[in-house]
Amino acid sequence: MRRAQRSEPPHELTGLERAIDRAANRLLVGAPARGVRAVLVECVVFVLKQAWACIFGFLLLVVLVAARLWYPEDAVLARNDALTIAAIVIQVLLLAFRLETGRELWVIMLFHITGTAMELFKTDVGSWAYEGEGILRIGAVPLFSGFMYAAVGSYMVRVYRLHDLRFSRYPARWLTTAIAALIYVNFFSHHFIIDLRWVLLAAVIVVWWRTQMHFRVYRVTLRAPLLAVFAGVAAFIWIAENIATWAGAWLYPHQMDGWELVSPQKFIAWFLLMIISVVLVTWVYPPREPGPREPGPREPAGAA
């Protein structure tokens, strides 16, 4: 564990985030630097940063659940179309209030495009299905589905700058890009030829095994094995997927006669999708090595 300076991180914060950061610094400037209360401060800040990073996905999930519980069956506007409009409104508001930077928007759109392409194929081969209602769709895929992938992209780019992520022993980007491309291709090709997911999973473990992620909370910067972080995020996405399928956003074949838990095997799919997600983000924010130890907010320069 090393202490980190609480000046603005080098990754650009939005205007609102800078205001929140300044207010948080004023509020926490008198917080103890050691002891139980210091640990509690770090835990609270970590949870709040994670919640802020998830804002797109959280709002989209709220809309999905609300539509399941309260959207009228006889409404003129089909539920899928209402979900698409709501997703567009969320995205527009994030941009209008400058909660996303222009630099990040294109990678989020890339998530949207790659996700929609996968949706078109997977629904065609029967991996999952959407209700047939609505006109805002491409084939059997309602347009709101792409925003679910965009929500993952939004989280990835937000968490990158909110925690000022650094990586030690990060693999060469050409190698990680090649693995991510093979993972993406396998999502399609395993329907026709041998499924290589376990080979690709082994390759991911070998390539990223030594990589550590360094993330700043408030005063401290912590580190964790990157593979463990991938697994944790994949687990949360799997939980969100269970909520979304319960809300009727889409259904897997085994859920057609009544909702059941999403197969735990989907955890592996989400874990591999995390690799694609991280690699896409590294082409916007190239991985950086941890810098030298910096003083904390109450430490003078050169403090031990």
Express each pLDDT in 276-293 by its tens digit: 988 988 888 889 898 764
Confidence (pLDDT) at 299: 36
Give the mean pLDDT of the chain.
85
Rounded to whole angstroms, the Cα distance separating 262 from 106 reads 31
Name residue 58's amino acid. F
Q: How many domains does the chain have?
A: 1
**What confidence tier does 12 reach under pLDDT thresholds 50, 70, 90?**
low
Whether 301 is covered by a domain: the verdict is no
pLDDT recorded at residue 17: 79
Please check whether residue 304 lies inside any domain of the structure. no
Taking residue 49's Cβ as centre, other Cβ atoms within 10 Å add up to 19
Answer yes or no: is 87 within a domain: yes
Instruction: Taking residues 168-177, report their average pLDDT.
Output: 95
Say if 110 falls within a structural domain.
yes
Lowest mean pLDDT: which of 165-174, 183-192, 244-253?
A: 244-253
Q: What is the pLDDT of residue 11?
A: 54
Range(s) of the domain holding residue 122: 2-282
**pLDDT exceeding 90 applies to what percent of the chain?**
44
Residue 231 in any domain: the answer is yes
Tell me the pTM: 0.82
DSSP-based three-state secondary structure for 115: helix
Residue 303 lies in a domain: no
Reduced DSSP (H G I as helix, E B as strand, rest coil) percent helix, strand, coil of the chain, to 5? 60, 5, 35
Please state the rounded mean pLDDT for residues 7-18: 62
Please give the pLDDT value at position 293: 44
- CA–CA separation, 206 vs 211, rounded Å? 10
Rounded Cα distance, 110 and 34, in Å? 43
Q: Which of 6-10, 117-121, 131-135, 186-190 has the lowest mean pLDDT?
A: 6-10
Q: Is residue 124 part of a domain?
A: yes
Residue 179 lies in a domain: yes
